Every structure is written in structure tokens, then in C-alpha cells.
Amino acid sequence: MPRTQPDQYVFGFGPGGEVISVAEVKRNGRLDHERIEKDETWRLEAGLVVKTELDDGQMEWTVYADPDGDGRWVELAEGQGPLDLSLFAGAATGPDGGAPVKQVLDDDPHVFRFDAAGRVVAVYEVERDGRLDREDIDRDETYALVNGFVVKTEVDDGRLEQTVYADADGDGIWHSIILPQPTSLWDGAVA
């Protein structure tokens, strides 16, 4: 009997995009948590979740996508040997062209304070009267300077959310922007 719906998965993500939990969504909606084995690697890459493992000396991979951005991922493909993610270009985007990583547009301008290494150490919201209101950096949030953008990443209800800020005129006031594929910011940023 053919399946009417593919298996769905929910992933938990760490601040660096690594997958820290895997659960299959059962027909009754309950989550069946799966153990991540020692020989498996799970990561978020180019808007896709990629699982790799070594089986009998052969590299095996599985690629998952969340095409509608609802936090439920489905298997796109599996295979052996080298993996070329460019084969899945566009598969990570939903019907409206959005990326599965939920992007958040924040209308309030911000000022960021960086340390000598370029890390964000303080966040300020610019009030209407020009005053700076310091915001706490919560435990589930990270800020990173990536290719000239400040990227705020947080996990909300198991979903990875990103807000990308740009300082287009170099005046130190950063505004959030929407990118067609925010995860592409990281390509080549970390060696």
C-alpha cells in the first residue's frame, strides 16, 4: 500500500547549527525521540539537515528539507559516497521562496558593541528619541559577525530563527534585513 505522507522529523538545533536532537513525528502527533549514534553526524547546511555516517567503510548520507517552514522535516534523498548539496539547490525553500530557517524582521534599529575579536558583547535598541536601551543577550540567543552582517540566532519552540542586521551606511546603526537564503551567509565564513 503506498504511503500517503512521508515520514516527518523534528530536529533540535544548537547555536552553531548542529543538530542536537532528532525525533520522528508519529501518526498520532507524538514525538518518538531517536538517539544520535556515535558514528553519525547531523548538521544544518545550506538550509538542509544532513546526516552522514560511516557504514562498513562506506560513507552514507541522508538529506532532509522543511519546504514549508513548519518545523517538520522530510527526507529528500539518501545515498552513498560524496555528497554534492548543489544538487538540492532550491529544495530548501518553501512555496513562497522562503528559507526553512525562519527569518525574523525586526523594525527597531540596533547598535552592537564588539570586542577586539569582533564578537558581539552588547546589544542596544535605538529608541525613537535616540536613546540607547540595552538589551540582555538571552541564553538561547547568539550573535555573530558574519561577512559584514550581524546574525542573531535563537531557538524558539524547537525552531531555528535568524535575524540578520546590516549597517549599510557605516554609521553604526544596524537594521534588520531579509535575505533570500540566510544560511548562505555562513558559506566560507568559518574554516
pLDDT along the chain (191 residues), means of 10: 67 85 89 92 89 87 83 81 72 45 65 90 91 91 86 76 84 79 46 33
| CA distances to 1, 52, 150, 169, 185 from 144, in Å | 49, 27, 6, 20, 11
Structure confidence at residue 189 (pLDDT): 46
Structure confidence at residue 57 (pLDDT): 82
Q: What angle do CA 146, 125, 179 make, to 5 degrees?
A: 40
**C-alpha cell recorded at residue 42:** 547531523
Structure confidence at residue 88 (pLDDT): 66
Structure confidence at residue 41 (pLDDT): 92
Q: Which residues contact 143 (CB under 8 A, 6 or more apart)?
A: 112, 119, 120, 123, 137, 150, 151, 152, 153
Residues 111 and 122: their CA atoms lie apart, in Å, by 8
Residues β-bridged to residue 120: 114
Structure confidence at residue 140 (pLDDT): 83
- pLDDT digit string, tens, across residues 119-166: 899 999 998 888 999 999 998 888 888 888 888 888 776 667 778 888
Confirm whether pTM is higher than 0.85: no
Residues 120 and 61: their CA atoms lie apart, in Å, by 35
Residues 108 and 179: their CA atoms lie apart, in Å, by 17
Structure confidence at residue 105 (pLDDT): 54
